[in-house]
Structure 1
């Protein structure tokens, strides 16, 4: 009933809702919106063209998504795609919502409308070959940006996470990849996109969580891509989303230890 896809070039996530809006679909939409916001895109497009909502009961969910996006640092722009002859769009117009929650006819129109909102000043992109050795270039970029953004406390964790993400992409996808490093207020956001559509499986939870102890220098084993345990331990939050070309695996790191 819901599908999600991402575009690393524009930092856009599209969440498409299908079927009749009811309590079950509403609960699933709430969970999916939370995951989409965790990725902290520049733009979230909510595609409602395949949804049937004759009483505009879904309206509070989309207004809440806009409020959450606006409160984030930097803000996430939220747009809605829906037919102009629906009750939902009519209700949005009556309360003046299009002034702050734009309504577009198609996803392509929404992408074009949001194109100028990309956060180029606080992000860097790196294109790498599908080789494990490419992880050293990603670590070098993270080192440079942590110094530029004055984030020394995130240096070692960020280097470890980006190294593991690149190594996993090289070993399992074996395609060229794109690394995107963005600033997130006091934190840092890492994305590695490759050409393999298979999403990674999260590591099994440990029976007794161990205290987080990360090495000052990356051990040799951290570059072998053996799993995502290190990412799970070091990142504040992480996940994966499908893209038109394959997938992207992302991780956000904050200077505090609290996990979400």
Structure 2
């Protein structure tokens, strides 16, 4: 069997991420593939399209990973669509086994049309930013509008500080174009900043007296305010995110 390979293409203008798979989807390859798809979802695209035309599947169990990732976790998830020709063995298997759990379309174009035609979720706010000194302010405005639209005024101040620090870090250390996405999930809001630089965040550098110094001060602020935070390294950059729990 041919080892599974994948190519990831991200269109930040349309908000669509496409993953083209080729090879055999075995249990071993699923272990390698699942983190790749999770990293794609970390970026909070409007839609994730997975192309299966060049994939062979020995068992419908292997296709369950897509349904699990589509439905995994509570809250509002990016739409996932599989693309597989209806006359192919994989396409037939997908339609029989998981079409009631995840969208299975005949072509990538069909899947793209569905993403583009879908109403924009009120739970996802996104803006493209340049590596400019004005970008943290634009991030604060976006987060303020998003939180107030969700009637979460109590979280506005903390959320704006977190978003401003995430964007400031990206502007200073990555120096690339970036995307900020604010999403309301079940029980939390999530702020994610996606840049195009491979260098991963570094933890705060503290002196022996506990005082912050050098790089990492912004991350220390995020650690202090956020309920949780993390990052995902990608082939063409990284995504850094932070979450705030909703008030009881």
Q: What is the TM-score normalised by the length of structure 1?
A: 0.68
Q: Deviations over 1:78-98 (max 9, x none)?
A: 211223333222223334x43
Residue 199 of structure 1: aligned partner: 198
8 Å contact kept, 1:54–1:88:
no
8 Å contact kept, 2:200–2:238:
no
Residue 79 of structure 1: aligned partner: 81
Is 1:90 paired with 2:92? yes
Distance 1:41 1:229 in 2: 27
Q: CA RMSD of the aligned region, Å? A: 3.8
8 Å contact kept, 1:123–1:183:
yes
Closer/same/farther in 2, CA of residues 226 and 83 from structure 1, 3 Å limit: farther
Q: What is the TM-score normalised by the length of structure 2?
A: 0.71
Distance 2:47 2:148 in 1: 27
Closer/same/farther in 2, CA of residues 83 and 238 from structure 1, 3 Å limit: farther
Q: Deviations over 1:126-179 (max 9, x none)?
A: 454422343123223323433342324533442233222222332244345443
**Count of aligned residue pairs for this structure pair:** 236
Deviation at 1:40, TM superposition (A): 4.6
Is 1:15 paired with 2:19? yes
- In terms of mean alpha carbon deviation, does 40-49 or 3-12 score higher? 3-12
The structure that is strand-richer by fraction is 2
Distance 1:161 1:155 in 2: 10
Q: Deviations over 1:12-53 (max 9, x none)?
A: 333333332223211112333444445554433222234332
Report SS of the residue matched to 2:102.
coil
8 Å contact kept, 1:182–1:188:
yes
Deviation at 1:255, TM superposition (A): 1.2
Gapped regions of structure 1 (runs ≥ 5): 207-218
Distance 1:184 1:155 in 2: 16
Is 1:44 paired with 2:48? yes
Report SS of the residue matched to 2:93.
helix
